[in-house]
Structure 1
Amino acid sequence: AAHLERVEVVIEPETPAGCEALEKILIGEDVSERLDVTPAKFRVIVTRRPKYAYKGWDGVFQAAAPARIIESGIPTEALLAQIAVSKYADGLPLYRQEAIYARDQVEIDRSQMAQWMGKVGFELEPLADYALTRIKQGERVFADETTLPTLAPGSGKAKTAYLWTYLRDDRPFGGSGPPIVAYRFEDSRAGECVARHLDGYRGILQVDGYAAYNRLARSDRGNDGVLLAACWSHVRRKFYELHAAGSSVIASQTVAQMAPLWAAEAAVRGQDPAVRIAARQEKSAAVVAALFALWEKELPKLSGKSKPAEAIRYALGRRAALECFLADGRIEIDSNTVERAIRPQTITRKN
Structure 2
Amino acid sequence: MPESSIEPSLVSRLLLDRDAEYRRANAAEQLVEELSDARVLKEKYERLISEKKRDIEEKRRIIEEKNEYILRLEQKLLYLERKMWGAMSEKHRVPDDPNQLRLDFEKTDMSEEEANTVRKALEEIDRYRSTRTAKAREKRIPVRRKLPAELRHVEEHVYPEGYIGHEDEWILFSDTETSEHLELQPAELYVRVTIRHKGIRKADKLIRTAPVQDEPIAKSYASASLLTDLMVGKYVDHLPFYRQIQMFKRLGFSIPAATIEGWFHDVADLMRPAYFRLKELVLASDYVQSDETTVPIINSEKHRTVKGYLWLVRDVMNGLVFFFYNEGTRSAKVVLQLFKDFHGAIQTDGYPGYGILEKLEGIITICCWAHCRRYFDRALYNDKARAEYALAQIGIVYDVEDMADSQEMDHEQRCGLRKRLAYPVIRAFEKWCITEYPKVLPKSPIGKAINYFLTYSRQLARYTIDGRYKPDSNLIENSVRPVALGRKNYLFCGNHDAAEDAAVIYSLMGCCKVAGVDFKKWTLHFLNHIHEYDNDYTKDLAELLPHNLKELKLL
Report TM bin, short chain.
0.7 to 0.9
Aligned-partner Cα distance in 2 for 1:4–1:123? 38
Who is 2:278 aligned against?
A: 131
What is aligned with 1:173? none
Aligned residue in 1 for 2:547: none
Among 319, 327, 335, which residue is 1:194 paired with? Answer: 335
Q: Structure 1: how far apart are the matches of 2:182 and 2:347?
A: 41
1:98 Cα shift? 2.3
Q: 1:217 aligns with which of 358, 362, 381?
A: 358
Q: Determine the C-alpha separation between the residues in 1 that align with 2:216 and 2:305.
A: 29
Unaligned runs of 5+ in 2: 1-145, 160-170, 492-555
> Residues 252 and 80 (structure 1 numbering): CA distance in 2 closer, same or farther, change over 3 Å?
same
Aligned to 1:116: 263
Cα deviation, residue 246, structure 1: 5.5
Change (3 A) 1:139 1:34: farther
Of 185, 196, 208, the residue aligned with 2:349 is 208
Per-residue deviation, 1:34: 8.8
Paired AA for residue 149 in structure 1: P
Rate the CA distance shift 1:79–1:310 in 2: closer, same or farther, 3 A: same
Q: What is the aligned counterpart of 2:368 among 214, 217, 231?
A: 231
Helix, strand or coil: the match of 2:379? helix
Alpha-carbon distance, 1:331 to partner: 0.9
For 1:260, give the aligned amino acid. I
Residue number among 370, 377, 392 corresponding to 1:256 in the alignment: 392
Closer, same or farther in 2 for the Cα pair 1:101/1:286, shift >3 Å? farther
> Alpha-carbon deviation of 1:60?
7.0
Aligned residue for 2:291? 144
Q: Distance in 2 between matches of 1:4 and 1:300?
A: 67
Shift in CA distance, 11/60, structure 1 to aligned 2, threshold 3 Å? closer
Task: State the aligned residue count.
Answer: 331
2:419 to 269, 272, 281: 281
Length-normalised TM-score, structure 2: 0.53
Q: Distance in 1 between matches of 2:278 and 2:224?
A: 21
Relative contact order, CA 8 A, sep 6+: which one is greater?
Answer: 2
1:347 equivalent to 2:493? Answer: no
Q: Is this contact kept in 2: 1:91–1:345, CA < 8 A? A: no
3-state SS of paired residue (1:163): strand
| C-alpha distance in structure 2 between counterparts of 1:37 and 1:282, whole Å | 59
Which residue matches 1:180? 320
Question: In 1, Cα distance between the equivalents of 2:464 and 2:237?
Answer: 37
**Shift of the alpha carbon at 1:239?**
1.2
Give a deviation string over 1:130-185, Cα, whole Å, max 9, x none: 11111112221011111222223565432322111111121xxxxxx4x1111111
With 279-288 and 326-335 compared, the bigger mean Cα shift is at 279-288
AA partner of residue 121 (structure 1)? A
TM-superposed CA distance for 1:67, in Å, is 2.6
Mapping 1:1-351, distance limit 5 Å: 5=150, 40-51=187-198, 61-153=208-300, 156-170=303-317, 177=318, 179-187=319-327, 188-219=329-360, 224-243=361-380, 245=381, 247-269=383-405, 271-350=409-488, 351=491
**Structure 2 Cα separation of the partners of residues 92 and 322 of structure 1:** 40
Hey, what does 2:92 align to over in structure 1? Answer: none
In terms of fraction of residues, the more helix-rich structure is: 2
User: Counterpart of 2:274 in 1: which secondary structure?
Assistant: helix
Secondary structure of 1:200's counterpart equals: coil
Aligned-pair CA distance for 1:80: 1.2
CA root-mean-square deviation: 3.6
Whole-Å separation in 1 of the counterparts to 2:297 and 2:448: 33
3-state DSSP of counterpart to 1:121: helix
**Which range moved further: 279-288 or 188-197?**
279-288
Preserved contact between residue 164 and residue 183 of structure 1 (Cα < 8 Å): yes
CA contact (8 A) 1:217 1:225 kept: no
What is the alpha-carbon distance in structure 2 between the residues aligned to residue 36 and residue 256 of structure 1? 53
Kindly provide the CA deviation profile for residues 225-253 of structure 1, in whole angstroms up to 9, marking residues without a partner as x.
1110100111111111222x455431222
| Greater shift in the superposed pair: 283-292 or 298-307 | 283-292
Give how far 1:320 is off. 0.9
Partner secondary structure for residue 227 of structure 1: strand
Query: 2:347, 2:366 within 8 Å by CA — same for their partners in 1?
Result: yes
In 1, Cα distance between equivalents of 2:398 and 2:250: 48
Q: 1:206 to 1:300 in 2, by over 3 A?
A: same
CA distance in 2, matches of 1:34, 1:181: 41
Residue aligned with 1:149, SS: strand
Q: Which residue of 1 aligns with 2:44?
A: none
Measure how far apart 1:264 and its partner are.
2.9
TM-aligned CA deviation for residue 286 of structure 1: 3.6
Provide the rounded CA distance (Å) in 2 between the counterparts of 1:4 and 1:260.
48
Q: Look up the SS of the partner of 1:228 in the other structure.
A: strand
Structure 1 pair 234/39, CA: closer, same or farther in 2 (3 Å)? farther
Instruction: Decide whether aligned partners of structure 1 residues 83 and 292 sit closer, same or farther in structure 2, where only a CA change above 3 A counts.
Output: same
* Deviations 1:277-330, CA, capped at 9 Å, x for gaps: 133234423432332222111100011222211111111111111001122111
Change (3 A) 1:289 1:11: farther
Q: Which amino acid aligns with 2:344?
A: G
CA contact (8 A) 2:289 2:348 kept: yes
Distance 2:476 2:236 in 1: 15
Report if aligned partners of 1:239, 1:251 keep a CA contact under 8 Å in 2: yes
State the Cα distance separating 1:206 from its structure 2 match. 0.7
Instruction: State which drifts further: 332-341 or 98-107.
Output: 98-107
| Structure with max Cα Rg | 2
- Residue 346 of structure 2 aligns with an amino acid whose one-letter code is L
Asked whether the 8 Å contact 1:248–1:308 carries over to 2, the reply is: no
Structure 1: distance between partners of 2:471 and 2:236: 27
Q: 1:276 to 1:9 in 2, by over 3 A?
A: farther
1:129 Cα offset (Å): 0.8
CA distance in 2, matches of 1:155, 1:181: 33
Q: Which moved more, 1:92-101 or 1:179-188?
A: 92-101
Unaligned runs of 5+ residues in structure 1 are: 15-19, 171-176
Report the residue type matching 1:239 in the other structure.
F
